Amino acid sequence: MNPLRKSDKRRSFLQLVAKQLAVPNIEERATNPRITCYPKIRNAIEAFDVVVLQRPQKGANPEFAPRTNRWSCHLCRQQYHRQRKTRSKCYTCQLPVCIEHSHQLARCATCQAADMPSSST
């Protein structure tokens, strides 16, 4: 028996098993647009004969909105003359409100007080 042939069979078997173990993970990563936007990763995934998700057109809306919009809390500006930055808005009046001035559901203290029933009896 030729020892080179025996090791070649073992090597090809190990390569086949490694590919079979890696393909499910590669298929999962092929659906992630953040990973497939890089050309080198995209080419490596395509080398395993896995269909890669098509890139969206430049004019299309992105899946995740950029988190660059930050506003100053309108109550901090009025009361303390400071600019506390926030990303949340009051769901009633749509004015920016920080965590300190919001209640559950990002609601500003002014709208919360306006909706409270008066306790006059």
- Tell me how far CA of residue 41 lies from CA of 5, 21, 29, 52, in angstroms: 34, 18, 10, 10
The reported pTM is 0.40
pLDDT digits (tens, 9 = 90+) for 17-58: 999 999 999 899 888 888 888 889 888 888 888 888 776 555
Q: What would the two tokens of residue 87 be?
A: 């990303």
Count how many Cα atoms sit within 13 Å of the Cα of residue 73 in the half-sphere of its side chain. 22
Measured CA to CA, the distance from residue 29 to residue 24 in angstroms comes to 9
Measured CA to CA, the distance from residue 75 to residue 73 in angstroms comes to 6
pLDDT of residue 93: 84
